[in-house]
Structure 1
Amino acid sequence: MEVSSLRRVYLLLLAVLLLNGCSTDKEAERAAGQNVMPQEMPGDFDFLVRYGYGEATKNEINTYQDIVVKDLIMNGTASANVTLTGDEMRSIYDQMKEINIMGTLELVPARQSCAVTPYQEDSWQITVDGVTRDLSWSGETCELTDDAGQLLELRNFIADIVAGKEAYKELPEAEGGYN
């Protein structure tokens, strides 16, 4: 190999090393799965949570589109436009920050000793500070991890806020049940 070719290879290698070394702390935290949420709620904070029983995760709270979907069980679903206030979003953000929802969560129990039907199930999409994260948990194995339990509490907290909204109260009542 001639000297000019070697020089190009070294320069290319140097450029790659420099570019790799310039990653931000935020990128390093994300790569390590330890994303720390900003103290203040960022302007791009939004979430979507779908929940229900097993295959029937028809309930949805979607702040990306300000839509709520209610599972009417035997009568399909109904939806309404619901916008959470800034204070409500900050309160939800604070709870997410408390459980470090953007960090590493254990959502699958180590022990899976039984199966139950019907079982609760949630799937989440959360955007914080330019990062979107998808999470899900299931109660099918009779046990919830501590992290899944915290997500369930968070979802119930959010559902209670939504249930107090006039547009949600105007939706039809569910008929029937899951078994």
Structure 2
Amino acid sequence: MIRILVVISVAFLFLAGCSKEKEVQMPEEKPADFQFSVSFGYGEVNKNEINTYENTVTKDLITKGTATADLVFSNDELQSIYSQMKDMNIMGEKQFPKQRSCSQTPSSTDSWKVTVNGETKSFSWTNEYCDITKDAEQLKELRTYIWQIVEGKDSYKALPEAEGGYD
């Protein structure tokens, strides 16, 4: 009987350890394999994208579709972005807004993919459910910061203007 209890206890410990998300320790300095992408937009349509895996930026032109350009961040810009991600522990577990009886329209959705030290994490969140968590707010601020850098790039400035709007 004791043997059965020991086996069950070990099994529970093993399962509890497996159910937790693996956290990646982020080094102080940006690793060579650091990459990220973030796509965002209204509802399920994430037409804007910043993608360092492909070195591109895609702009939502609304009624005119999308336009994509090459995008290269300086090492200082990438280090600054990486430092902000490290400060918020982007590779750790995050809490995002959950579905509730309240919903707002239009809503926006952000989808992220981040690679650090050979580990890749993907996640998304929406503000559709009225409340925004601290983690979602930090990611929104980070996305805004990155987008401001992108908007200053000549390759982005050369993209056509958007036409129309979202309801």
* TM-score, scaled relative to structure 1: 0.80
Q: Distance in 2 between matches of 1:40 and 1:48?
A: 19
Q: Which amino acid aligns with 1:99?
A: M
Where 2:23 maps in the other structure, the secondary structure is coil
Structure exhibiting the larger radius of gyration computed from Cα positions: 1
Q: How many residues align?
A: 149
In structure 2, the partner of 1:18 is: none
Which residue of structure 2 lines up, in the alignment, with residue 69 of structure 1? Answer: 58
Question: Any residues of structure 2 matched to 1:14-53 within 5 Å, and which?
Answer: 32-53=21-42
Shift of 1:34: 3.3
Structure 1 residue ranges, 4+ long, deviating more than 2 angstroms after superposition: 31-36
Q: Give 2:5's aligned residue.
A: none
Aligned residue number for residue 6 of structure 2:
none
Q: TM-score, normalised by structure 2?
A: 0.85
Match status 1:106 vs 2:95: yes
- 126, 131, 156: which one aligns with 2:144: 156
Could you tell me how far apart the structure 1 residues matched to 2:156 and 2:128 are?
29
Instruction: Give yes or no for the alignment of 1:138 onto 2:131.
Output: no
For structure 2, the 5+ residue unaligned runs are 1-16
Structure 2 Cα separation of the partners of residues 115 and 32 of structure 1: 29
Deviation at 1:32, TM superposition (A): 4.9
- What percent of counterpart residues are identical? 52
The offset of 1:91, in angstroms, is: 0.3
CA apart distance, 1:116: 1.1
CA distance in 1, matches of 2:119, 2:166: 35
RMSD between superposed Cα atoms in Å: 1.4
Where does the alignment leave 5 or more consecutive residues of structure 1 unmatched?
1-27
Work out the CA distance in 1 between the residues paired with 2:104 and 2:163: 22
Kindly indicate whether the alpha-carbon contact (under 8 Å) linking 2:40 and 2:47 is maintained by their aligned counterparts in 1: yes
